[in-house]
Structure 1
Amino acid sequence: MAVTNNRAVFNLDVTAGRRNGYHYFNTYGNIFLENRYTDWGNYYPYTTLRNLWMLSKYIPAQNLQIEFLNNYRNADKYAANDLLAPSKNSLDYEFALTMMAQPLAWMEATGLPEKAFAVAPVINKYRSLQADIHSGQIFPIGNEPSGTSWTGFQSIKKNEGYLLVIREKNKLKQSFIRTWLSPGQKLFLKAAMGTGRNQAITVNSRGEIKVILPEPNTYVLYHYYLPNVGTN
Structure 2
Amino acid sequence: MLIQMKVTELLAELGSNSPAPGGGSIAALAGALGGALTAMVCRLTVDNTKYTEVQSEVAGILAEADILSGDLAACVDADTEAFNNVMAAYKLPKMTDQEKAARSAAIQQAITHATELPLGVASSCLRVLALAVRILAIGNSNAASDAAVSGLMAHAGLHGALYNVKINLGSIKDQSVHADIQAKMARIIKEDECLHNELVAVAGKVIG
Please state which structure has a larger fraction of its residues in strand. 1
Please state which structure has a larger fraction of its residues in helix. 2
TM over 0.5: no
What TM-score results when the alignment is normalised by the length of structure 2?
0.26
Larger Rg: 2
Structure showing greater relative contact order (alpha-carbon pairs closer than 8 Å, 6 or more residues apart): 2
What TM-score results when the alignment is normalised by the length of structure 1?
0.24
